[in-house]
Amino acid sequence: MIKKGSHLDGVEPINEKNIEKDIVLEILYKKIGKYKEAYQYLVNIIEDKLIYDKSGYSGNSVLILKSQNGKEDLVIKISKNNELYHEYISYEFFYKMNYTTKPLAYFECGKYEVMITEKINLPTAGYYFNSYKEIADFFGKKLRIFHEQNLINKINNKEEENVFSHKYENNYKKAISNNIVLKYLAIYLNNNNVLEMKKYIIENKEIINKNLVLVHGDFNPNNVFVDKDQNIKLIDFCDTGYCNKHYDIFWTLFMIIIFSGILKEPEKIKECEEIFYNSYGLHSINFEEIKFFKYFTSLYWKEHDEITRIDIL
């Protein structure tokens, strides 16, 4: 379904060409060379592999390492946004729940953080499905099941509890301190009134803790992989935490619209919304709470038009 082209057309930024090992090693040496343990770990795992840059729009840099037999493929994620520790703890949790692959290592390297995980050798949902209708139906169902797992009750250590329980207090603070509405979301909502949005989320703050679940936080077609039996695997847990389930419901719907490239086609959007809400379960959706998260996400998410490739990180 996902076309190759620009971000707005609904595209996974993909770089089919592999990059020279020596160049990558040189960049890594410059950035984190003095953190010996981390650097040596990376040198060792890179040694016999091909490297592809898969960095997305989040401002992090992602390298895929392909092994010769295809069985030891790895992923290196490098960030200077101070968010990978959260993601690493989340990865460990979701690995236990059989929702993702194994996290292998995490290093703090001054202003950079590095995380290494196994690669998921499956297509992402964006490639698996052929139309926004299929994807809306599939995501509605899978997101409902994800929320119904009651994952909050499966959290069983202090670190997980700590990481997940404060996430959305912090994100809320970021949202109300921001003064710009996310561009594409403003187009979808036909509203870019920052003051109105802020006022609404301040007056209705308690909604964050209603319908509390462990939200994935960015349940989108690039972060969900699908196997032949249509079971899913997840990645990208930077925004995982305790929050109202309507956060995931709204953000996933918007992401499907963006990634399907239908943002400027109102009829298709309407159909997409209907399919998605129905397959999630219309009776369990509260549209006041959806409204809250329309505004919350408009203010929280920032524009990332640039892909942060490793060389410009």
- Which residues make up the interface to ligand ADP (CB under 6 A)? 54-56, 58, 60, 62, 75, 77, 101, 117, 119-120, 124, 222-223, 235-236
Q: Min. distance of Cβ 235 from Mg ion in angstroms?
A: 7
Q: Which residue is nearest to Mg ion (CB)?
A: 236
Residue 120 binds which entry of ligand ADP, Mg ion, none, with Cβ cut-offs from 5 to 8 Å by kind? ligand ADP
Contact map string, positions 173 to 212, toward Mg ion, x by CB under 5 A: ----------------------------------------
Three-state DSSP string of 85-121 = HHHHHHHHHHHHCCCCCCEEEEEEECCEEEEEEECCC
**C-beta neighbour count of 156 within 10 angstroms:** 9
Here the tokens at position 151 are: 């994952």
Report how far residue 56's alpha carbon sits from residue 14's, in angstroms, rounded to the nearest whole number.
8
298 binds Mg ion (CB under 5 A): no
- Please give the DSSP secondary-structure letter assigned to residue 87: H
Axis-axis angle for helices 167-177, 194-203 (nearest 10):
140
With beta carbons less than 8 A apart as the criterion, state whether 211 and 289 touch.
yes
Residue indicated by tokens 């707005």:
8
Please identify, using beta-carbon distances, which residue of 197 and 238 lies nearer to Mg ion. 238
With beta carbons less than 8 A apart as the criterion, state whether 1 and 130 touch.
yes
Please identify, using beta-carbon distances, which residue of 218 and 289 lies nearer to Mg ion. 218
Q: Min. distance of Cβ 233 from ligand ADP in angstroms?
A: 8
Residue 194 binds which entry of Mg ion, ligand ADP, none, with Cβ cut-offs from 5 to 8 Å by kind? none
Axis-axis angle for helices 36-46, 21-32 (nearest 10):
170
Report how far residue 222's alpha carbon sits from residue 242's, in angstroms, rounded to the nearest whole number.
22
Please identify, using beta-carbon distances, which residue of 175 and 235 lies nearer to ligand ADP. 235
| Binding residue (CB under 5 A) for Mg ion from 79, 223, 260, 308 | 223
- Please give the DSSP secondary-structure letter assigned to residue 119: P
236 binds Mg ion (CB under 5 A): yes
Please identify, using beta-carbon distances, which residue of 105 and 120 lies nearer to ligand ADP. 120
Return all residues near 93 (Cβ < 8 A) that are at least 6 apart. Answer: 155, 160
83 binds Mg ion (CB under 5 A): no
Q: Min. distance of Cβ 186 from Mg ion in angstroms?
A: 22
Contact map string, positions 50 to 79, toward Mg ion, x by CB under 5 A: ------x-----------------------
Report how far residue 92's alpha carbon sits from residue 312's, in angstroms, rounded to the nearest whole number.
29
Q: How many residues bind Mg ion (CB under 5 A)?
A: 3
Q: List residues near Mg ion by CB under 5 A.
A: 56, 223, 236
